[in-house]
Amino acid sequence: MGIKTRKVSPGIEWGIAARPSPGKVVSGDAYVVKAFANGELLAAVDGLGQGNQAATAARTAVSLLKKYAADSVVSLIKRCHRGLMMSRGAVMTLASVDLHGNMSWLGIGNVQGILLRGDPAVIPATERLRLHGGLVGYQLPKLEARKVALQQGDLLVFATDGISEDFQADVDREHSPQRIADRVLDRHFKGNDDGLVLVVRYLGGEHE
For the chain, list the domains and their CATH numbers. Answer: 6-202 (3.60.40.10)
Q: What is the pLDDT of residue 20?
A: 95
Which value, in Å, is the radius of gyration of the alpha carbons in the chain? 16
Q: What is the pLDDT of residue 179?
A: 95
Q: What is the pLDDT of residue 207?
A: 42
Residues in the chain: 208
Q: What is the mean pLDDT of each run of 10 residues along the chain (208 residues)?
A: 58 94 92 94 95 95 98 98 96 96 97 94 92 96 96 96 93 93 96 95 73
What is the three-class DSSP state of 15?
Answer: strand
CB 137 within 8 A of CB 87: yes
CB 207 within 8 A of CB 102: no
Q: Are strands 6-8 and 102-108 parallel, antiparallel or unpaired?
A: unpaired
Q: What is the pLDDT of residue 8?
A: 65
Q: What is the pLDDT of residue 205?
A: 67
Of 201, 120, 112, 129, which Cα lies nearest the Cα of 164?
112
How many other C-beta atoms are found inside a 10 Å radius of the C-beta of residue 15? 23
pTM of the predicted structure, to 2 decimals: 0.94
Query: Sign of dihedral through CA atoms 66, 67, 72, 78?
Result: negative
Burial of 165 (0-12, 13-18, 19+ CB in 10 A): exposed
Q: How far is CA 126 from CA 12, 121, 154, 187, in A?
A: 19, 11, 10, 21
Burial of 22 (0-12, 13-18, 19+ CB in 10 A): exposed
Instruction: Convert 139-179 into a string of H (helix), E (strand) and C (coil).
Output: ECCCCCCEEEECCCCCEEEEECCCECHHHHHHCCCCCCHHH
